[in-house]
Amino acid sequence: MYALIYDEHYLERPNKRVISVHDNREEAEVALDQRRDTLGRKVWECHTRVVWTEKTTQAGDVLGPGEYKAWRPGEKIPEGETYSDTD
């Protein structure tokens, strides 16, 4: 399952709190956009990212190192930039 996790990228805090759980990446990306809009911040300022986990989890749970990955095994990973930094 896909999950949104709160991740400040601090090495001394390896456990990540689950914000929400989703059946597919598209739903998780929509939830990430909604969180960004609610907080009124850019994606990188929200300290939130989409991950894949095989662990049964729910919002409020904690995922530790090795319990999640950036991409689902076998999932097509986009190559190159997904968003242009120019207009």
> What average pLDDT does the segment 51-67 reach?
95
Q: Give the model's pLDDT for residue 80.
A: 66
* Run of H or E including 63: strand 62-63
Q: What is the pLDDT of residue 43?
A: 80
> Would the pLDDT of 65 be above 70?
yes
82 within a domain of the structure (yes/no):
no
CB 72 within 8 A of CB 51: no
Range of the domain at 53: 2-63
33 burial via Cβ count (<10 Å: 0-12, 13-18, 19+) = exposed
Query: Is 73 contained in some domain?
Result: no
60 or 44, higher pLDDT: 60
User: How far is Cα 33 from Cα 11, in angstroms, rounded to an integer?
Assistant: 26
Per-residue pLDDT tens for 2-40?
Answer: 999 999 888 888 999 999 999 999 999 999 999 999 999
84: in domain: no
**In total, how many domains does the chain have?**
1
